[in-house]
Structure 1
Amino acid sequence: MQPTPLINDLAKQIAEHLRAENPPAGTRLVERKLAEQFRVSRSPIRSALRLLHAQGVLGLAGSGGFITIDGRQASWPDHGATVTNEEAMYLRIAQDRLEGVLPERVTENELQRRYNMTRGELARLLRRILSEGWIERLPGHGWTFLPMLTSIESYKDSYRFRLVIEPAAILEPGFVLDRIALEACREEQQRLVDGQIWSVSSPALFDMNSKVHETIIECSRNSCLIDGLKRVDRLRRLMEYKQSLDRRYAIVRCREHVELIDLLLEERRQDASEFMRRHLSSVSVEKVINKVGAAQGISSADD
């Protein structure tokens, strides 16, 4: 029996989540947690896990259920650089919101009519947008879009803020290196450098690169710094999606991520802090130029 569109979509989302998080091989997948994360019942989650096992992404646990395998051995579904209809609709909604075409508050019926989607298609998109943190369900009826960075000045402010907190976080007295998480990030960034960057989608690239910075700042054990960066990442997410990314620049930033992580793994925190400052300074210049010159086709790397 052919999987339903919902199962195919869930399998893709779970695969992308696992590829981004890169949990250790043998990690057991808990259906209840996945159902809560993707806001569906456990039955379609179970079917999606079976599909991923059939595709060679997951292994079977001896006591039943599914476990992760070594990410280098997994047969990841090749989504390529092709933009699906659903992805195109997602990006259209994001752009309409950024440009003020969509009001702050909307109903599902309004979205269905505007974008000519079925209820199932819209439900999948809303689950994704909700999980990414730029929309919330209103009590009783409708949805509200959350604030995001749209002006040049607010965009500059976000990078000035990051320049303050991210280099400092590396030097926090409570800093404890999460070697396993950083090594997983390094492997992911190296795969991008080795060629994956030419096929991964812009949203996935944003998530991979944001993950590097969030993993590093989480080592600081400073909840205020951690929450501050994650809030900025949520606010700037759509702005990054809207920009046309030149992968020739993006691959440079991924190489810098590898170098930054290597400094941390070598316990050279002072050098890593200074490298982080240089990295963010150069990226911020690229991003602001890109935003100001978007109409002329200027593009930058995602970070």
Structure 2
Amino acid sequence: MKQKSSPTPKAAPSRLQRELSAGILELIRAEKLAPGTRLAEVALAQRLRVSRTPVRAALKLLARRRLVRVGASRGYFVADTVPATPKAPAKPVPADTDRLFVAIARDRRSGRLPIDVSERDLMQRYDATRPVVQRVLAKLAEVAAVQRKPGHGWRFQPIIADVQARAESYRYRILIEPAGLLEPNFQLDAAWAAEMRQRHEETLREPWKETASIALYEMNAAFHEGLAAASGNRFLLVAVQQQNRLRRFANYDWVFGYERVVVNCREHLAILDRLEAGEREAAAQLLRGHLESAARLKTIELADGRNNNSK
């Protein structure tokens, strides 16, 4: 007589999944989201500064525990009841992690941090604990900024740092990104546009602090990638995603102050206004002007940094 095989036990959730699931619940509580509110993966990934893949895994974990519910067709929604806030809630991105993010970005961009590092190197250099360093490296790996080396250590991915490369990058983006808005298969995702509008308006309302530069860059990257995705041209999307990977470290360390944050957000919102009105030509002109203005700003910044380093 055949014996019934016992079901394969499910793998225990990873540390990142546990942290992200706690972070999602905390966002639901903090923003007082009503039952039935859709939990968009893109928006959550931007808020938690990770890619969509681990967010999706965290939502599945919460759904298994009945802390969120799965929609009839697809997607995840706020459950009818959300557990009370625990006495010591887990925070997915502590303040010390954000500070280390910015410090690494600044040193990598300036060349003070070598391309190959180990956890011990970073612990000693920044006087950080191993758990904090591991959290930062895990999140940098999620956005393809670092890659684990075979055997031991980590390697930073290439970045755009010098004046000539930055100028070429912006000229390339000016050529392709506005053109994407005029592609024959362009179709704006209304849900994505609403999420982007909400994120930009929240950024304008929230007090500015140095560590907010990480969330600012990821929001900006998501905006430009979303426009590229709307073009319906997969090759254009890949090109924009590659540029964002190369630009990541050069932009995590924001040096232009809050005034430029306001300008950046308002320019993005103006582009959305034109697209939602069906005025793609006007939106493409605004996007071109936005990129040209950013290119001038970055060229001045890099030139000043080069002059200061030569003194």
Report the RMSD for the aligned CA atoms in angstroms. Answer: 4.0
Which whole-Å CA distance do the structure 1 matches of 2:186 and 2:27 have between them? 26
What is aligned with 1:26? 38
In 2: Cα distance, 1:36 partner to 1:164 partner: 28
Cα distance change on mapping 1:225 and 1:179 into 2, 3 Å: same
Change over 3 Å in CA distance of 1:154–1:16 after alignment to 2: farther
Distance in 1 (CA, whole Å) between partners of 2:143 and 2:266 is: 26
- Cα distance in structure 2, aligned partners of 1:263 and 1:269: 7
CA spacing shift, 1:179–1:123, aligned 2, 3 Å: same
Evaluate the alpha carbon distance shift between residue 293 and residue 145 of structure 1 in structure 2; reply closer, same or farther with a 3 A threshold: same
Change (3 A) 1:35 1:277: closer
**Residue 230 of structure 1: aligned partner:** 241
Aligned partner of 1:75 in structure 2 is: none
1:166-187 residue CA offsets vs partner (Å, 9 max, x unmatched): 1100111221221221122122
Give the counterpart of 2:150 among 136, 139, 162: 139
- Of 208, 214, 236, the match for 1:198: 208
**Alignment-mate amino acid for residue 137 of structure 1:** R
Scaled by the length of structure 1, the TM-score of the pair is 0.72
Instruction: Give, as a single letter, the amino acid of the residue that structure 1 aligns with 2:268.
Output: H
Number of matched pairs: 261
Task: Provide structure 2 residue ranges, at least 5 long, that are not aligned to the other structure.
Answer: 1-14, 42-49, 80-93
Aligned-residue offset at 1:109: 3.2
Matched, 1:174 2:185: yes
Residue 44 of structure 2 corresponds to: none
2:16–2:54 Cα contact (<8 Å) kept? no
Task: After TM superposition, list the pairs within 5 Å mapping 1:150-165 onto structure 2.
Answer: 150-165=161-176
Q: Deviations along 1:2-53, whole A, 9 cap, x unmatched?
A: xxx989954676579999xx9x923498xxxx999459x97xx95xx69xx9
CA 1:16/1:280 → structure 2, altered by over 3 Å: closer, same or farther? farther
Could you tell me how far 1:209 is from its partner in structure 2?
1.8
Alpha-carbon contact 1:136-1:146 (below 8 Å) kept: yes
Q: Decide whether aligned partners of structure 1 residues 26 and 275 sit closer, same or farther in structure 2, where only a CA change above 3 A counts.
A: closer
- Are the structure 2 counterparts of residues 296 and 192 from structure 1 closer, same or farther at C-alpha, using a change threshold of 3 Å? farther
Q: Secondary structure at the match of 2:147?
A: strand
Partner of 1:85: 96
2:180–2:228 CA contact under 8 A, matched in 1: yes
Paired with 1:132 and 1:7, the residues of 2 have a C-alpha distance of 16
Q: Distance in 2 between matches of 1:67 and 1:59?
A: 10
Shift of 1:158: 1.2
Quote how far apart the aligned CAs of 1:249 are.
2.0
* CA deviation after TM superposition for structure 1 residue 248, in Å: 1.2
Q: 2:304 aligns with which of 290, 293, 297?
A: 293
Aligned equivalent of 1:268: 279
Question: In the alignment, is the contact (CA less than 8 A) between 2:214 and 2:253 conserved in 1?
Answer: no
C-alpha distance in 1 between matches for 2:194 and 2:220: 14
CA change 1:187–1:153 in 2 (3 A) is: same
Q: Secondary structure at the match of 1:133?
A: coil
Could you say if the C-alpha distance between residues 93 and 14 of structure 1 is closer, same or farther in structure 2, counting changes exceeding 3 Å?
farther
Q: How much does 1:106 deviate? A: 2.3
Q: Which amino acid aligns with 2:255?
A: S
Q: Note the C-alpha offset of 1:283.
A: 1.9
Structure with max Cα Rg: 2
- Determine the C-alpha separation between the residues in 2 that align with 1:137 and 1:123: 12
Partner of 1:101: 112
2:65 is the counterpart of 1:61: no
Say whether the 8 Å CA contact 1:107–1:142 is kept in structure 2. Answer: yes
Whole-Å Cα distance in 2 between the matches of residues 232 and 28 of structure 1? 25
In the superposition, the TM-score normalised over structure 2's length comes to 0.70
Identity %: 29
User: Residues 223 and 8 from structure 1, CA distance in 2 versus in 1: closer, same or farther, beyond 3 angstroms?
Assistant: closer
Name the CA distance, whole Å, in 2 between partners of 1:152 and 1:127.
30
Relative to structure 1, the CA distance from residue 222 to residue 36 in structure 2 (aligned partners, 3 Å threshold; closer, same or farther) is closer
Match of 1:121 among 121, 126, 132: 132
> What are structure 1's unaligned runs of at least 5 residues?
71-82, 298-303
**Mapped contact 1:175–1:219 kept (Cα < 8 A):** yes
